[in-house]
Amino acid sequence: MRIFITGMGAISSLGFSVEEHLKSLINSQHGISKVELVRELFGDFLGGEIKLTNAEIKTKLGLSENSNHSRTALLGMWAAKEAFNNSNIENLKLGLFNGTSVGGMDLTENYYAEYQSDNNENNENILSHECGTSTVNIADYLDVKACQSTISTACSSAANAIMLSARMMQVGELDIALAGGADALSSFTMNGFKSLGIYDETLCRPFDATRKGLNMGEGAGFIFLETEEAQKQTKHTILAELIGWGNANDAFHQTASSPEAIGAKLAMSTAMKVAKINSNEIDYINAHGTGTDNNDLTEVKAINDLFSGKIPAFSSTKSFTGHTLAACGGLEAIFSILSLQHNCIFPNLRWENQMENTELSPVTKLEQKEINCVLSNSFGFGGNNSTLIFKKIR
């Protein structure tokens, strides 16, 4: 069964639409700046912050200023609306799959502060805490009453949401799906990463020998998927094809990848097996590339071991957006499709120094070349590793 992508939607510090993201990526304009909207941070942070308040986002979405939506839900609504190709979908089985890890944390933090002062257990800010609430909010906003599912597997969440939608199409449970993920910045997650010693106080440098950690970001990325038979009905323009997916969990450590890169290699090799392609058919790898010591080292090992003899071009676009946690698999699926559409490899910004014990170097400037097949990695805490493969439509 063939699965096509016919819609995309994105919001991050790079822009408010897929078109704006493409422009930023082509012009090497990153969106990382001083974080200004998050309360109670322990020090100054650089991050991929969207410079709109929740109230401003609600206005742009046409929502009441009194609506009780978390920032994660609002970002998800924004991107999902752009991606949702809802013409000619009558009688087709639709699913909505949303990946998130932060959920309503921003409102929960407000609840905590207010509870300390008034002990009000009925404060409505706690009502949006559950990750699934953002999925319900997105569905309600788009008037989607079909199958809904929330995936929360840390940084692989959106990739797993896309993967689940494809697998459900494969077995005939769905004809079309809106899949991706959303996460917002919060003091809990930002202070938490800093406490782990993996937050870079300067601009992140994925795969560089001098890397000190990640910069967090926020955003949402969704794609619209259709089976080949469904697309014959909708007649939506095909942007790319999803041909492979794989998930593996090496369960090595709560926050670190295994030094042997077992899970990463298995996720990539499984995706290629599903796609029925060989490693030499991959033209570009959109790497997970967080900028942390452990992740970058193990991902490079996985790439070196799996593609020995012919290493594809690779880069981390987190140097543009920061690490958007659960949303990264959705955003980077879109970046992978843009790479196919425009025959280009987006640069790994700020890379200068090769890591020890490896001869691999990422692409550091926009590179124009024929791109037919892109592999995108999303690796989460707990060793939950996911890989998606997209192919150009000819």
Catalytic residue numbers read 155, 288, 323
Euclidean distance between CA atoms 120 and 139, whole angstroms: 29
- Give the CA dihedral 26, 27, 33, 36, nearest 10 degrees: -80
Q: Are 246 and 266 in contact (CB under 8 A)?
A: yes
Ramachandran angles phi, psi of 108, nearest 5°: -65, -40
| Neighbour tally for 254: CB within 10 Å | 8
Q: Are 249 and 383 in contact (CB under 8 A)?
A: yes
- Pairing mode, if any, of strands 216-217 and 219-227? unpaired
Q: Are 223 and 337 in contact (CB under 8 A)?
A: yes
DSSP string, 37-48: S-SS-SS--EEE
* 137 CB-contact burial (10 Å; exposed 0-12 / middle 13-18 / buried 19+): buried
* 351 CB-contact burial (10 Å; exposed 0-12 / middle 13-18 / buried 19+): buried
Measured in residues, the chain has a length of: 394
DSSP assigned state of 365:
S
Three-state secondary structure call for residue 359: coil
* 14 CB-contact burial (10 Å; exposed 0-12 / middle 13-18 / buried 19+): buried
